[in-house]
């Protein structure tokens, strides 16, 4: 009976390839495990958000989100672009590139830790802000290691071990969330919550780094260009990383910590959808890296199909958002209208994910520089102007305008 069901599913997927122009067997196998992990992670994130909404004061939650946004900028020296270059390199059979990549990321990540210490000194000596001083002291201990350790996931992505990847991510996110919730429920102390966030993620990632290296035997082939290409991608990501965090930093400084809490809960549900859909990007890059004959026309067809599927999901969320917030986030009903508006920005996902995967896989560096640097500068300018003159509405409308403009340009640049 089970074999019969498998055969029916297989035949349906093969037939659907005529419409999607995509390897649906690969997408289903990889997507099933990635989606399973994302569902568990999303539910864990939703559970954590519910506890934050009901147990932590808005002022403390706003401060917590501000610290994580600054830490996102301080992690720039960890060279996030090396992960993408490493995904591509390992997919092409160059396993040994992992070790030099990890070493490079940790070495450069030390700079981020030092910058966090300098910020702690700034807030202590010049702002007389003990809260932010302690927060940045805590973050300085983990910045050099927490994100660089995640480079091990490039082994799993490059070798298409999506079941192992999704299982590990589900465990990391679930256990980390449970630890944070336990600390939050027992102490409601901002410093304890922040420390539990860093220590849980760093420790769990390190455990799975060791586990992965023991489980998967790596060959001795090395791609000598992985670091230089990774640095190029990292340089492209600098302005993009700033633009991804600047909204929260601007709200903290323009509108205050409470408005940052309201905004953070406004984007929490759309961001869960965005995170879930990142599976497409994880699946696409290794496949595109190996298929050197892939044409622009093929990718555009996939983008259109993805867009058609995504549109009703966004409409459904806009309809259900008031019920979701009343049920789970009753303290943040002010966030509903902002969340509905923000969800429109999700329309750019098919273009940004598949389009960028195609440009990355085919190493079109000039186009990538343009898209990730100049457009991010425009986004930062829009956010500064929109936030200063129109508050939260200005921030969200700026993001929507940027995402849609970004999508059009990616479409034209491919």
Q: Angle at the Cα of 172 (from 330 to 66), degrees rounded to 5? A: 50
Stretch (H or E) spanning 257: helix 257-277
Evaluate whether residue 118 is within a structural domain.
yes
Evaluate whether residue 2 is within a structural domain.
no
Predicted local distance difference test score (pLDDT) of residue 259? 96
Predicted local distance difference test score (pLDDT) of residue 30? 46
Evaluate whether residue 4 is within a structural domain.
no
For the beta carbon of residue 185, count every other beta carbon within 10 angstroms. 10
Evaluate whether residue 12 is within a structural domain.
no
Nearest to 68 by CA among 115, 135, 134: 135
pTM, rounded to two decimals: 0.82
How many domains is the chain built from? 1
**Total length of the chain:** 414
Q: 9-27: b or e for each residue (b if 16 or more CB lie within 10 Å)? A: eeeebeeeeeeebbbbeeb
| Cα radius of gyration (the chain) | 21
Q: What is the pLDDT of residues 325-370, one digit of tens each?
A: 999 999 999 999 999 999 999 988 887 766 666 666 666 767 777 7
CA–CA separation, 247 and 260 (whole Å): 9
Evaluate whether residue 35 is within a structural domain.
yes
The pLDDT of 148-157, averaged and rounded, is 93
Predicted local distance difference test score (pLDDT) of residue 12? 52
Evaluate whether residue 7 is within a structural domain.
no
Q: What is the pLDDT of residues 98-138, one digit of tens each?
A: 999 999 999 999 999 999 999 999 999 999 999 999 999 99
Band of residue 183 on the pLDDT scale cut at 50, 70, 90: very high
Nearest to 133 by CA among 180, 62, 67: 67
Band of residue 371 on the pLDDT scale cut at 50, 70, 90: confident
Range of the domain at 98: 21-413
Is the pLDDT at 13 greater than 50? The verdict is no
Predicted local distance difference test score (pLDDT) of residue 6? 47
Could you tell me which residues come within 8 angstroms of residue 307 by beta carbon, excluding any fewer than 6 positions away? Answer: 347, 350, 351
Is the pLDDT at 141 greater than 80? The verdict is yes
Predicted local distance difference test score (pLDDT) of residue 10? 46
Is the pLDDT at 20 greater than 80? The verdict is no
Q: Angle at the Cα of 75 (from 69 to 79), degrees rounded to 5? A: 140
Evaluate whether residue 1 is within a structural domain.
no
Q: 210-230: b or e for each residue (b if 16 or more CB lie within 10 Å)? A: eebeeeeebeeeebeebbebb
Q: Is the dihedral of CA 266, 389, 76, 285 positive or negative?
A: positive
Is the pLDDT at 37 greater than 80? The verdict is no
Predicted local distance difference test score (pLDDT) of residue 278? 65
Distances (CA, A) of 120 to 246, 260, 262, 301, 363: 19, 21, 26, 50, 39
Q: What is the pLDDT of residues 273-317, one digit of tens each?
A: 887 776 555 444 445 445 555 566 767 777 777 788 889 999 999
Find tokens 């990355």 and name the residue.
360
CA–CA separation, 222 and 96 (whole Å): 5
Band of residue 211 on the pLDDT scale cut at 50, 70, 90: very high
**Mean of the per-residue pLDDT values for the chain?**
84
For the beta carbon of residue 293, count every other beta carbon within 10 angstroms. 5
Which segment of 35-44, 59-68, 252-261 scores lowest on mean pLDDT? 35-44
Band of residue 24 on the pLDDT scale cut at 50, 70, 90: very low
Per the structure block, which two tokens stand in for 261?
């809490």
Evaluate whether residue 10 is within a structural domain.
no
Which segment of 40-44, 88-92, 250-254 scores lowest on mean pLDDT? 40-44
Predicted local distance difference test score (pLDDT) of residue 340? 96
Predicted local distance difference test score (pLDDT) of residue 11? 54
């Amino acid at each position: 009976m089970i074999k019969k069901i498998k055969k029916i599913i297989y035949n349906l997927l093969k037939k659907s390839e005529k419409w999607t122009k995509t390897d649906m067997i690969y997408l289903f196998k990889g997507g099933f495990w990635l989606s399973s992990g994302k569902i568990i992670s999303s539910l864990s994130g939703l559970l954590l958000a519910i506890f934050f909404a009901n147990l932590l004061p808005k002022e403390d939650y706003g401060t917590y989100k501000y610290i994580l946004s600054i830490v996102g900028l301080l992690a720039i020296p960890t060279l996030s672009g090396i992960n993408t270059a490493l995904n591509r390199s390992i997919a092409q059979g160059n396993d040994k590139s992992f070790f030099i990549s990890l070493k490079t990321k940790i070495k450069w990540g030390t700079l981020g830790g030092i910058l966090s210490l300098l910020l702690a000194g700034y807030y202590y000596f010049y702002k007389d802000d003990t809260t932010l001083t302690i927060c940045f002291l805590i973050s300085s201990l983990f910045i050099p290691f927490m994100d660089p350790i995640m480079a091990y996931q490039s082994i799993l992505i490059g070798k298409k071990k999506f079941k192992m990847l999704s299982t590990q991510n589900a465990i990391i996110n679930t256990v980390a969330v449970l630890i944070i919730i336990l600390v939050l429920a027992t102490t409601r102390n901002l410093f304890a919550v922040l420390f539990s966030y860093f220590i849980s993620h760093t420790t769990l990632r390190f455990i799975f780094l060791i586990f992965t290296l023991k489980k998967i035997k790596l060959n001795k082939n090395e791609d000598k260009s992985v670091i230089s290409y990774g640095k190029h991608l990292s340089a492209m990501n600098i302005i993009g990383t700033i633009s991804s965090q600047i909204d929260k930093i601007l709200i903290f400084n323009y509108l205050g910590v409470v408005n940052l809490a309201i905004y953070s809960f406004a984007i929490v549900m759309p961001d869960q959808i965005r995170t879930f859909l990142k599976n497409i990007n994880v699946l696409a890059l290794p496949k595109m890296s190996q298929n050197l004959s892939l044409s622009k026309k093929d990718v555009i067809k996939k983008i259109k199909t993805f867009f058609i599927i995504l549109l009703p999901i966004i409409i459904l969320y806009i309809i259900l958002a008031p019920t979701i917030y009343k049920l789970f986030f009753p303290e943040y009903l002010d966030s509903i209208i902002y969340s509905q508006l923000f969800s429109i920005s999700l329309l750019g996902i098919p273009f940004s994910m598949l389009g960028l995967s195609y440009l990355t896989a085919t190493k079109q560096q000039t186009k990538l520089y343009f898209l990730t640097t100049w457009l991010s500068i425009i986004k930062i300018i829009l956010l500064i102007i929109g936030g200063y003159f129109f508050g939260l509405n200005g921030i969200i409308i700026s993001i929507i305008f940027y995402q849609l403009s970004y999508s059009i340009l990616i479409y034209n640049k491919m």
